[in-house]
Amino acid sequence: MYTKLTLNVNRSIVEEAKVYAKRHHVSLSNLIENYLGSLTKEPQRRVEVSELVESLTGIIPEPQDDRKEYRDYLDQKYN
């Protein structure tokens, strides 16, 4: 169920919010409703992780930038 809400907001902020809402294809009412909803939502609880999963954390290496290695190779080859 919806209810009407009257707000007093700085005119320039309202104009900027209208532009933002139009750019993102959403009504100003939806924009404000979503914002107020995000403020009142309870924070997510931390999920408990088993010891096995904890022990596996960090085993997979970070992705490498192969282009850097290739550039270094070309530098050595041609310089």
CATH number of the domain within which 13 lies: 1.10.1220
- Residue at 5 is within a domain: yes
The overall pTM is greater than 0.85: no
pLDDT in tens, 14-58: 999 999 999 999 999 999 999 999 888 877 777 788 888 888 887
> What domain range is 18 assigned to?
1-41
Is a pLDDT exceeding 80 seen at residue 63? no
- Residue at 20 is within a domain: yes
Looking at residue 11, what is its pLDDT? 95
- Residue at 17 is within a domain: yes
- Residue at 37 is within a domain: yes
- Residue at 48 is within a domain: no
- Residue at 29 is within a domain: yes
- Residue at 71 is within a domain: no
What's the structural domain count of the chain? 1
What distances in angstroms separate CA 37 from CA 4, 7, 50, 75, one per listed residue? 16, 16, 32, 55
